[in-house]
Amino acid sequence: MMDSGVPLCHTCGEQVGFDANGQVFVACHECNFPICKACFDFEISEGRRVCLRCGIPYQGKRTDHSDSEVSGNRSTMATQLSNSQDIGLHARHVSTVSTVDSDLVDESGNPIWKNRVESWKEKDKKRKKKKASPKTENEQPPIPQEQEMEEFLCRPSDAAEPLSVVIPIPKSRLSPYRTVVILRLIILGLFFHYRVTHPVDSAYGLWMTSIICEIWFAFSWVLDQFPKWSPINRDTFIDRLSARYEREGEPSQLAAVDFFVSTVDPLKEPPLITANTVLSILAVDYPVDKVSCYVSDDGAAMLTFESLVETADFARKWVPFCKKYAIEPRAPEFYFSQKIDYLKDKVQPSFVKERRAMKRDYEEFKVRINALVAKAQKTPDEGWTMQDGTPWPGNNSRDHPGMIQVFLGSSGALDIEGNILPRLVYVSREKRPGYQHHKKAGAENALVRVSAVLTNAPFILNLDCDHYVNNSKAVREAMCFLMDPQVGQDLCYVQFPQRFDGIDRSDRYANRNTVFFDVNMKGLDGIQGPVYVGTGCVFNRQALYGYSPPSMPNLPRSSSSCCCFPSKKPAKDSSEVYKDAKREALDAAIFNLREIDNYDEYERSMLISQMSFEKTFGLSSVFIESTLMENGGVPDSVNPSTLIKEAIHVISCGYEEKTEWGKEIGWIYGSVTEDILTGFKMQCRGWRSIYCMPLRPAFKGSAPINLSDRLAQVLRWALGSVEIFLSRHCPLWYGFAGGRLKWLQRMAYINTIVYPFTSLPLIAYCSLPAICLLTGKFIIPTLSNLASALFLGLFLSIIATSVLEMRWSGVSIEEIWRNEQFWVIGGVSAHLFAVFQGFLKMLAGIDTNFTVTAKAADDGEFGELYLVKWTTLLIPPTTLIVVNLVGVVAGFSDALNGGYESWGPLIGKVFFAFWVIFHLYPFLKGLMGRQNRTPTIVVLWSVLLASVFSLVWVKINPFVSRADSSSISQTCISIDC
């Protein structure tokens, strides 16, 4: 039981304890920040001798931590990361998905492993007493505490200052925005009160349809608007990061980072683009021994392997050139294609000569890559053969063994100037028939395990193969958050915005997604953090392992994985208390495991087995031990010669069976948008995320800029959202028991999974103008003064909300309008198909694919923009355009026949129809292409559907003057035939 009056340590959650005088231990006498002696010693050993709360240096405390210092240099690949990775593991939090077996206690009720640990401790103490030896002549005497304090106080003050700062939106911009949002909500309430209490009896069906659609639109607006209630900006201080962790004359203390690059089909994802991404990673402005790049080839293509061979060879020239002249960006294709003055800020006389030589080398590199691509267009009948004459193991992409090749980073792989290079590792996981491989999410999880075995960096940065590093200091930007003791403690990832190259200036199809990345994500950053968007994200590896944040106790298994609401039990029963006690004791066993030097392999394997880590992480003792190392690094006990063999083992196709991979740890399975699902699971455990927007974009990628490819991309995203909605991880009911996901954050996640369903009311609402024009009816009764004021107030509030969003976010009115247009275009096409395809796939098991076939494109700038491709996604928007145009023509014709009184009601209907046409105008331009030609099949389908609507109109309301049917019948009777 906890002694009363003894505070808990802010870092590890244990009691602070007492000092030698029997008083409560106090590290900082200025602010009395609660920190235990063990955490205090760890901070001192890491060189951080300032209070975590007030920033004042510790004084009057002994910092003798010679027992925790690590001597000697590690030369093998398995141990060349951090030398202090095993210190401070008493703060370890056990995975919420790990289980404790009930047979781990002896007859007296004490845990068996606890007795074993105690015996190991006794043996360890005896051995240390016997091996006490005198100091060697070469050993340096310890530095006096006073001298250490003087040296620390003489260091730059930047080392003690925060690495980042929150810049709130000025109240002069945010307060009016919030006021307008509240006013708009009130106006919406009054508007719906009027709409519901004033039905249109002559068109009751149309009126009811419009009411349902408008209520759904209002609900969607609330889900989208209120998570943006507290937007913030952030700024980082890279110079302070260097002052704290890169002191002159000392080894760099920056944390290591493992880069993940994923690719599948080199014929669809050009190897040259992947090579540029890899080269930009290898040349990043970060210590080379802290960078490792893992390329996942999920298609097991020999073309990808051979292109990486060429890339590794070219990197020996490219990396030193980039670092010597500090060029940006460090992807050669995009650097040499810049239309800027490349001599700006370059003062070295040799730069022009070396740049010309490097450009020539890159052109030769491109020729070699293109030759490989041309050779790979036709696969030989006998399959591909490697240079040594052996068959390529991946000739069958669905049935092949796991493959790993380390190109750079090993002994002897130096650049042309004799300096070491970052690691470059090729990975292709094993695939066999009958196993579920889970596409990209499965490939990412394989990279997590491989990197943990080979390098085990504490942070992971994943990129798509077409997203290169545009800002060489991007990793340092992320470290300003992740390595800050105050900010990074509960941080699961740092998300960067996506920026794109090659998009037309007008951004016809809203490819840049500026409204989402510059408005919505800033708003989420002020709550619990932005959502994970699949690329350009730096992860805390411990968060991927399913652990809870260090500042929070672990959730019970039922709380983290149950899809129901929290239990109403007022207190825990005795069995739950006993389970918590066992979990805490299990934590202690893991911490003590690091302090024991003389246990054998059998005892260690028994302990790990009893902790049931295999049920969570799989049957790899090397990987399991790496998960216990918060600060990264490969365990010292591992034999470096066996690392590759172990890495092959963890990417076998059956490794994840009967484990928690894809369920509670790693990238989560169950949706093609695994990014949203993975970030959602982390934040449900209580983790926070941060949005980082440096002035120079961190990463840049390519986006599909023609209409068909853009709709196919949106279809895939929407389908993933529908899959999450129909899964157990739906934010509508998942994760309530823990109470760690904030309500505004939950609203944002709900919005990400329900937005495809807006397609149903949207397509109905876009059809209403044509129906009203064809039938002569309308969804709104004759307006009174009050109703006119409500409609005017609603329109003005919509405009004011957009204008004020532009003020605090910095987006332009054109970007907001393009986003609004494509919301309609995607809603009536891709989102609609995603809803039906999702229900067919999840409920009936039918997987329907809407394929896209390409046709010839024009050469020149933005030639791809004018590609015309056939896809069924084009039919619904085209039909809506044709139907509304037919309705406008019919409405004007009807008004001409009806006389002067018919023009008044026509104005509202025509305005409604033109609202639809203007929103679909970019779609119409894309449909016409550059030559203003439309695929014949699209025209035929659209004309057919429009004709059906026209015939219905003729049947309901023929284009003749209205007359009473009784008078017509009397006239017919009087006629003598």
Contact 270/461 with Cβ under 8 angstroms?
no
User: Residue 953 and residue 773: Cα distance in Å, rounded?
Assistant: 9
User: Residue 933 and residue 926: Cα distance in Å, rounded?
Assistant: 10
- Residue 106 among known ligand-binding residues: no
User: Residue 41 and residue 22: Cα distance in Å, rounded?
Assistant: 18
Q: Which residues pair with 629 in a beta bridge?
A: none
- Residue 366 among known ligand-binding residues: no
User: Residue 621 and residue 626: Cα distance in Å, rounded?
Assistant: 9
State both tokens at 548.
């809870």
State both tokens at 658.
């009967």
- Residue 298 among known ligand-binding residues: yes
- Residue 568 among known ligand-binding residues: no
- What backbone phi and psi angles, to 5 degrees, belong to 838? -65, -45
* Strands 403-408 and 257-263, bridge-based pairing: unpaired
Contacts of 301 (CB under 8 A, 6+ apart): 265, 266, 376, 394, 397
675 annotated active-site? yes
Residue 675 backbone class (left: φ over 0; alpha: ψ -120 to 50; beta: rest):
alpha
Residue 331 backbone class (left: φ over 0; alpha: ψ -120 to 50; beta: rest):
beta
Q: Which residues pair with 431 in a beta bridge?
A: 400
State both tokens at 209.
């349809």
Instruction: Choose among 532, 573, 579: nearest CA to 555.
Output: 579
Any idea what the Cα angle at residue 38 is, between residues 35 and 39, rounded to 5°?
45
Complete DSSP assignment for 498-512? PEEES--TT-TT-TT
In 60-179, which ranges are E strands?
164-168
- What backbone phi and psi angles, to 5 degrees, belong to 285? -80, 85
Contacts of 769 (CB under 8 A, 6+ apart): 884, 887, 909, 912, 913, 915, 916
User: Residue 583 and residue 460: Cα distance in Å, rounded?
Assistant: 28
At 473, which helix (H) or strand (E)?
none
* Strands 491-495 and 537-540, bridge-based pairing: antiparallel
Contact 352/447 with Cβ under 8 angstroms?
no
Complete DSSP assignment for 67-84? GG---S---SGGG-S-TT
Q: Which of 297, 484, 525, 675 is catalytic?
A: 675
User: Residue 624 and residue 66: Cα distance in Å, rounded?
Assistant: 29
- Look at the block and give the residue holding tokens 């930009």: 280
Q: Which of 41, 86, 297, 298 is catalytic?
A: 298
User: Residue 293 and residue 451: Cα distance in Å, rounded?
Assistant: 9
936-957: b or e for each residue (b if 16 or more CB lie within 10 Å)?
eebeebbeebbeebbeebeeee
Contact 256/457 with Cβ under 8 angstroms?
yes
- Residue 210 among known ligand-binding residues: no
User: Residue 502 and residue 865: Cα distance in Å, rounded?
Assistant: 10
> Exposure of 125 by Cβ count < 10 A (0-12 exposed, 13-18 middle, 19+ buried)?
exposed
At 340, which helix (H) or strand (E)?
none
User: Residue 113 and residue 626: Cα distance in Å, rounded?
Assistant: 20
- Residue 909 among known ligand-binding residues: no
> Exposure of 975 by Cβ count < 10 A (0-12 exposed, 13-18 middle, 19+ buried)?
exposed
At 753, which helix (H) or strand (E)?
helix 743-754
- Which amino acid does the sequence have at 272? L
Report the length, in residues, of the chain: 977
State both tokens at 936.
């014949």
- Residue 440 among known ligand-binding residues: yes
Beta strands across the sheet bearing 699-702: 468-469, 699-702, 499-501
Annotated binding site: 262, 268-269, 298, 439-440, 464
Annotated binding site for Mn(2+): 440, 464
Annotated binding site for UDP-alpha-D-glucose: 262, 268-269, 298, 439
Catalytic residues: 298, 675
